[in-house]
Chains A and B, each alone.
Chain A
């Protein structure tokens, strides 16, 4: 089923129901469908252009444009607004996009990018071309093209088909029990599969989606929970951890109606999970594991009866996961491989990346293992492993220990070259405000909680750790 059908179904069932609310206005399902049709009509002059790049902050207009492009049978290439000129230039070249549709601010920024030669049109310029002629909806197997965040390598184009979207959306709904009575708060950018997956879910079940422009204003998010009678919230783990600096009673009160907080697979500090188990009176915190190439491959619902705070959960319905290692055992750490209708069949114009797809199995490069009950635990990435004199360590296991130290707000572990050991572990640590934590206290804690080859050899206190929008550490920038 094409995702436009998700919308059509809701137009039939709940035409006057509010579909989306942004910081300026709200729109019903019926109005949304009409505006999507208008947008498709407005871009009919771009007939020969199969791929259209879209870049904008979160807004109803973004959703209209996204669905409007898909409805016209074209592929949406999604671009983050803060993209660098080099990255944008690469993406435009490899995607073969011939036009960018954006809001005014982004168009102004991109105008400074001398290497970008294709046309950039604002939403208003597009919509002014609507001639109200009725045109038939077109279909394309591919709905959108998104480039991986590139935490370890150059971004790769990932084409997502309608059938992948339908499969993944149904799994999300089945496991996390979304329904048309939900009000879903989304302060995440929509140019990523986490945010987009939430949009698809709301469109499928006919819930109301509340879009916020950013996730940094925690007070505003808290107020929005109450203001819109929100029942589900999607945020990255770092946002959840930052919430813990608020008064506990305030959090309990603001989160009292929340039935679900969904977060993505970046490791969530154990303490954060434990705290939110208490803060959420009736609801649950959940996470998932997946890549843009294999969205929502596992789900984990943290509840009071499950002590596996560091797991990313069990395999999603009708998805297969195997662990490749010398021991040939899923219970031992190895590379995670995924197969299922949520997995891409090919990267976009990238033969080299296609080598990661073998007989339908995606070799993720992520390291993990299952416990006997089938819960998956992540250990890091193959290409992030630190090799200290032959002993292999994943950054994530160091970080998860250091994050438990009082006075540590955030930490990134990575390998640096060493004359004797080949590599040693370095930590970049952000201290909490007013913390008097020193390096020897961190080392003492590590010595008590880690094997001796995992003890960091260098520690720097820093103000910032480079991360993607979704909280993944950009380790290549640290080395």
Chain B
């Protein structure tokens, strides 16, 4: 993508929107699985996070390479009757912190809106150029 293109900023804003979309997807998965003690392989659900990466060295937008798992420790709570409890009655819970997820959700939503704002503003800019043809 050349920098001189009139549509570069639109493509970049779209890439930003798509990236934030994936981030929101990861957050919703985290929120939905905040209590999932079994991931299918015996360990609790691991918090996911979208990893953003700039495309190329030039002005080319953003992409989400991978949805990485948060490797921090699982909190343990005492729940002796739980089927996933260990010998001492402790259950490993997902490393999801709901308040943090909600903050991240706000950040991602605002970032998405910012990308939309950039696109709208750029659209108005080009339209004002086209006014020259009136």
| A, B: real partners | no
- Chain B: residues with CB nearer than 8 A to chain A? none
Residues of A at the B interface (CB closer than 8 Å) are none
